[in-house]
Structures are given as C-alpha cells and as structure tokens.
Amino acid sequence: MTDPLAFLGAELDELRAKGLYRRLRVVESEQAAHCRIDGREVITLSSNNYLGLTTHPKLRRAAIEAVEAFGAGSGAVRTIAGTMTLHQQLEARLAEFKHVEATLTFQSGFTANTGAIPILAPEGSVIVSDELNHASIIDGIRLSKAERRIFPHADTDALRATLRDIRSAPGGADRTVLVITDGVFSMDGDIARLPEIVEAAEEFEAAVFVDDAHASGVLGRNGRGTVDHFDLHGRVHVQVGTLSKAIGVLGGYVAGSLNLREVLIHRARPFLFSTSHPPAVAAACLAAIDVLESEPDRLERLWANTRLFKDGMRRLGFDIGGSETPITPVIAGSGALAMKLSDRLFEEGVFAQGIGFPTVPDARSRVRTIVTAEHSETDLAECLAAFELVGRELGLI
C-alpha cells in the first residue's frame, strides 16, 4: 500500500541533501550564559534570556510560592474559571508599566498576534505590513479577511505612498487601516523607524500596531519597549509584548485601550480556547517587572556587552548587517555554510544556532547571536576567539 504521507520523508531527504537538516539541541542545565547542551559545556549565544531573569532568585521564589498557594495549574480557560487573582494583578501591573489603559495576557506572543490582528482588521479593512515582520504577524494577517499590502522593509516613503493610495481609492477614506511593524526585527536586529511610521499613519488616519517581542525588556526606560524608547506614548494604538524573552518566563500580552481588552476577551480565539497561564508563570512575571524597575544595572550590562561583542565582530571582518540591538546576525551566505559555522562553533564551545531558508533568504543565511547581561567580558572574548578561528577556517573573514 502506498504511504499517503511519503512526501514527509522526501522533504527530510531534501533538507539533508542541502545541509539544512537540524536536530533539536537539548539543554541539560539552567538557561544561563554557560549551559550544558548535548553533553557539552558551552557559552550560549542563542538564548532570548537577555537580562538573565530565568534564574533570578526573586522569580524562582515567586514561582514556588505561587505553586504552594494556588497549585500547579489554573484548571480552565480565562472566560470560564481560569482567571485568577494573579492574572488580574499581572495585567494591571503591565498596563501601568506600559503606560496604557489596559493589557490582556496570552499564552505566547505568537497567539497574541494571531488573536488580535484578525479582530483589529475585519473584512473591508486594510493591513499595511513591513515585509520582514515576524511569522506570527504574517499568520495573524492570513487569519484576517482584510486586504493586505506589504511595504519594503523600513521604507517609510513606500509606506506613505501605500497609505496615500489606499485613502485616494474609491471608498478608501472610510476604510479601517492598520499599520503593523515589529519594534525590533528578530533576524536582523534593527529597530523600526517608528517615529516616521507613526507620523505617516497619523497623516492618513491609520492605526499603528507594534510587536515589541525583542524590544520588551531591552529598549526604553527599564525595558518598556520601542514606544517608550521613541517617546511615542499615546500615539501607538496597539503594543504586543512578550513575557518569554527578556522577562524570562512565558507568554505574551496586548497593551492598549480598555475597549481593546474587552473586545479581545470576547472574541480573540487563542484567549477563548486556551487554558490560562499556571500560577507560577503569572507570579514570576510579576516579579520580573519588579526586577526591571529595581535593577536597571542589568539593562546597562546588556548594552555594554552588546557594544563589546559587535565591535569585536566588526574588527574581525564579519558581516553583521545593520543590527542596532543585542541581536547580531553573522551572515554566512548559503544555508549549508551557516549550519557548518554553527556546528564548528559548538565544537569550539560556543552555541550559536544557524538559521536558513525559509526563515531568511538562502543567500542571507546566518548564525544569529544574542548577547545577554549575564555574559562576562571573558565569555565574550572566548566567543570572539572561536568566531575568528572558525571564520578563517571557513573563509568568512
């Protein structure tokens, strides 16, 4: 009998032939600057744990106390019996932190985008999206019935021209228009030109939606994100943040008006049909916000390490693109070469994951690195030495 799923094996064979097949690396220790991965002690440059909060004593203690007080799980979706006092406290604290009326937490940043975008852009509206926006934004757009327009990455002149075209078309003056951008672009590490985006949107009466996954905890005062970084409070209608990266725990949230929160509660499908966060998650997130506000030195160390590593990579002659944040792509070219670079670095004691097509174009395949506040200068010197050795071996420098 013919296997109806035989194409799966063929797809895996193709990945192996192109040098793109990857197996999951297994972390056998805490998620820290030094990890044990697949039996090897390495310095990791592939964690989103920007500020080292995953192992912070305050977060550990908060999680343990929440389990003891509330149990291991919440037991239901939020709209039935799964809204606990900790969830309400977290959302109130996030709203205060982000300087907005209200927030609503989701199981992940991905579900925050796929839950919110279809509601904010109903049938008959138009979504205008940067071409390099995150996959969760792309999937959120696909779930909507809105018309979609894509503008070239960071090209605000093209954005303005697109908005003008929408408004000048028959019936365009009355359409809902939603402009969506990442705050920090996850593969290249550049920051959205948010002031220009907001100005263009205001000129053409469009709403602005910013996904701040890689800006949360990284940009702005105490890590409040790109809106705070550019002092655009009150001018960005929707902010999506993550609790899974610099915050060090799990989840995502949508920040904006009280009306937005109430509509999402009633209509956002990931919110309606997913069990709420375990008490330990909500409690640890609350503790993380305390740390962001009380330990600004962590953010300072993050940026000092970022400058040190980028300067070293540039001196060595690597192509690191136009990164402006702790995300530093090391462009290798082909996907196979990027994976070889990653594998050789691992052998030299540095874990930095290779990324190729379809996440990025094959010719821009890379090893994506992220330094954290936990790396020491010695750690970064060892990483730079490994990159120099392997980069010369593979002809990248």
Amino acid at 357: F
Distances (CA, A) of 80 to 75, 252, 264: 10, 20, 15
Catalytic one of 229, 245, 277, 310: 245
Q: How far apart are CA 128 and CA 163, in angstroms?
A: 8
**Are 101 and 95 spatial neighbours (Cβ–Cβ below 8 Å)?**
yes
Q: How far apart are CA 391 and CA 151, in angstroms?
A: 35
Catalytic one of 46, 108, 136, 186: 186
Q: Is 237 a residue of the active site?
A: no
Helix axis angle, 377-393 to 335-347, nearest 10°: 130
Q: Is 245 a residue of the active site?
A: yes
Q: Is 29 a residue of the active site?
A: no
Cα-based angle 221, 225, 332 (whole degrees, multiple of 5): 120
Q: How far apart are CA 88 and CA 94, in angstroms?
A: 10
**Are 355 and 368 spatial neighbours (Cβ–Cβ below 8 Å)?**
yes
DSSP state string for 289-344: HHHHHH-THHHHHHHHHHHHHHHHHHHHT---TT--SSEEEEEEESHHHHHHHHHH
Distances (CA, A) of 319 to 9, 75, 214, 322: 35, 49, 21, 9
Active site residues: 186, 214, 245
